[in-house]
Amino acid sequence: MTDAPPDLRADARRNRERILQAAVGQFTRHGIDASLEDVARAAGVGAGTLYRHFPSREALIAAALRQGQDRLLAEAARARALPDADAALAAWLASLQDYLRTFHGLPAPVLAAIEQQDSPLALSCEAMAAMTGEFLDRAKREGHARASVETADLFLATLGIAWAVDRAAACGTSTGRVNAILARGYLRDGGDR
């Protein structure tokens, strides 16, 4: 759980951990836009301390997310083990969307991280896109994925749908039905190109 910062003083390490824990709590309760002052307060720490450890909101999000990433990787491994390439891709996309629902509003900073690779989220973001590409490629080879579908586009569409479902949770829309549209389209007939 502790992401073992290199060589911090004991109190610094302790504070860092407290902040992280408080951040997870606040982000879970109030979404990704939770007040950082509140996070500091909940951690029993001054604002300066928070900003020294995590210079930007994105950095804090990235760190708070690190834990859930293990689960995502585990689910990716499970999906990879599926014999059916199409099912594997679908399972991966579902896991990805679950992950993006870790905190309310998460898709926004993740998408933002695509563009500026200096973002602390950029790494995991690229990794997610790469894995999407891996599953998509396999589904093109072994399954029924269209050759014309590109990784970036599918990833973007997935992010967009995760965002929309996340925000419209109240009105009764199911992730499943929306994703069914993404998988098979709103049109009935196939016919590539």
Question: What is the contact surface with DNA in residues (CB under 7 A)?
Answer: 7-12, 14-16, 33, 35-38, 44-49, 51-53, 55-57
- Binding-site partner at residue 157 among its own copies, DNA, none, CB < 5 to 8 Å by type: its own copies
Integer CA distances (angstroms), 137 to 5, 46, 78, 158, 179, in order: 36, 48, 17, 16, 19
Contacts of 103 (CB under 8 A, 6+ apart): 27, 28, 31, 32, 61, 64, 65
- Binding-site partner at residue 12 among its own copies, DNA, none, CB < 5 to 8 Å by type: DNA
How far is 32 from 24, CA to CA, in rounded Å?
10
- Binding-site partner at residue 162 among DNA, its own copies, none, CB < 5 to 8 Å by type: its own copies
- The correct pick among 34, 64, 114, 131 for binding its own copies (CB under 8 A) is 114
CB 107 within 8 A of CB 163: yes
- Binding-site partner at residue 156 among its own copies, DNA, none, CB < 5 to 8 Å by type: its own copies
Locus of tokens 């949770």: 169
- The correct pick among 8, 47, 74, 181 for binding its own copies (CB under 8 A) is 181
Shortest distance, position 65 Cβ to DNA, whole Å = 17
- Binding-site partner at residue 123 among DNA, its own copies, none, CB < 5 to 8 Å by type: none
Nearer to DNA, 93 or 121 (CB): 121
Instruction: Determine, following the binding rule CB under 8 A, whether residue 177 of this chain makes contact with its own copies.
Output: yes
Instruction: Determine, following the binding rule CB under 8 A, whether residue 168 of this chain makes contact with its own copies.
Output: yes
Locus of tokens 């996070």: 39
Q: Which tokens sit at 136? A: 């998509």
Instruction: Determine, following the binding rule CB under 8 A, whether residue 83 of this chain makes contact with its own copies.
Output: no
Integer CA distances (angstroms), 10 to 42, 68, 187, in order: 20, 25, 60
Cα Dmax for the chain: 63
CB 141 within 8 A of CB 80: no
Instruction: Determine, following the binding rule CB under 8 A, whether residue 73 of this chain makes contact with its own copies.
Output: no
The alpha carbon torsion through 120, 124, 125, 128 (nearest 10 deg) reads: 180
- Residues of the shown chain interacting with its own copies in the complex, contacts defined by CB under 8 A: 86, 89, 108, 111-112, 114-115, 136, 139, 143-146, 148-150, 152-154, 156-157, 159-165, 167-168, 170-174, 177-178, 180-192
